[in-house]
Amino acid sequence: MNNIDFSDVHKFLVSVGLGTIVFAFLLPWFFLKEEFNLYLEKDTVAKYTDDSQKVIHLKNSILFDLFSNLHWITILFLTIGLFLIGVGIFHWWRKQKEFDKGQVLDNVNKELTNEKLKRELEDTTPSEKASAVLNEINVDLFGTASVATSDSIVPENPSSQKTSVTSTESIEIVKAYNRIEQIIVGKITEKYSNKYEVVLDKKILNLNLNILLLGRTNDFSDRIIEIKYRSQSPLTLTEATELIDALEQVYKLATGRIAIPLIVLVTSAKIKIHSEQILNPLISQNKLVLLTEDELIDWDPIL
């Protein structure tokens, strides 16, 4: 058996109350509008049978009593209607007050949980972040991991088409990556800081989190924004899917909470054209956003 939804009961009481008030105003109008065949001549009535005459007299007597007390009847129905509306609204208000109180407590608990989680998560050190950025750049340029020397970065795979990147080139690429990251962080913070607490550069197990959005209330699930910058080589569907799965699983394993990952991939116009169809399964599921650097300037993040 289904449980009674008391909010529906309160709505029903208010509806009945409104109906009763409408009836209270329609009743006088109906009595004043209707003639009730009162304009019968005595000679006409005398032609009827005794029983018919009794019915007519009884009807007239009842109508007279109703007319005499019509104002009291109207007031009675009006009072009943107002009472039912008052009862319905009062109980709804009381339930709503309890619900709002519970929401406030839930929000406070969520804030405390968020603070606890932030303390438990490790910060990504500047060297770790720089290493992650350089590794991302190397994968972009060489399609493989690489090692750094004093004045250049050399791929571990010697068969790579490009043999090395000088420190000057790597610095410029790092600057471009950092500029892109700052733009994305700024846009997300500006639009969603009222719904999410924006946490930057945290580490969970073996994963670095670029942007972690902690929902301020239970209405908003945590979000993980992973920034990818590819100027030379495309991000494959397998890479993107594996990254999303890893973020979901590791975050849940480490925190016990569910997070929704989103990859923001910034790339060149040429690579975007090549990647749109390949990455469409993730784009259509709102798990990946594909942008050029020019498009990033006008990007309106939708989470």
Q: How many Cβ atoms from other residues are within 10 Å of residue 184's Cβ?
A: 21
The per-residue pLDDT for 161 is: 47
Residues 287 and 263 in one domain: yes
Taking every pair of Cα atoms in the chain, the longest distance, rounded to a whole number of angstroms, is 127
Token reading at 76: 């009675």
How many angstroms separate the CA atoms of 179 and 198, rounded?
18
Residue 302 belongs to a domain: no
The residues facing 267 across adjacent strands are 230, 292
> Does residue 47 belong to any structural domain of this protein?
yes
pLDDT digit string (tens) for the chain, length 303 residues: 444 454 677 788 888 888 898 988 888 887 777 666 665 666 666 667 777 767 767 777 777 777 778 788 888 989 998 998 888 888 888 777 776 665 555 555 566 576 777 777 788 888 887 777 778 777 777 765 444 443 444 444 444 445 455 667 667 777 888 899 999 999 999 999 899 989 898 888 778 888 999 888 888 889 999 999 888 888 899 999 999 999 999 888 888 888 899 999 999 899 999 899 999 999 999 999 999 999 999 999 988
For residues 243 and 286, membership in a common domain is answered with yes
- Domain for residue 68, yes or no? yes
Count structural domains, the chain.
Answer: 2
Number of residues assigned to the chain: 303
Domain co-membership, 143 together with 67: no
Neighbouring CB atoms inside 10 A of 6's CB total: 11
Tell me if 133 is assigned to some domain: yes
Q: Does 127 reside within a domain?
A: yes
Q: How far apart are the first and last CA of the chain?
A: 39
**pTM passes above 0.85:** no
Tell me, yes or no, whether 89 lies in a domain. yes
Q: Give the DSSP letter string of 259-281.
A: EEEEEEEEE-HHHHHHHHHHTHH
Structural domain that includes position 254: 122-297
Torsion (CA) 190, 196, 198, 203 in degrees, nearest 10: -150
Q: How far is CA 249 from the centre of its chain?
A: 23
Domain for residue 250, yes or no? yes
pLDDT at 119: 75
> What's the pLDDT at 209?
87
Indicate whether 282 and 166 sit together in one domain. yes
154 within some domain: yes
**Boundary residue ending a domain (63, 80, 113):** 113
* Residue that has been written with the tokens 């791929």 in this structure: 155
Mark whether 236 and 270 lie in a shared domain: yes
Residue where a domain stops, chosen among 91, 113, 135: 113
Question: 95 with 168, same domain?
Answer: no
- Residue that is last in its domain, among 113, 136, 171: 113
Same domain? 133 vs 275: yes
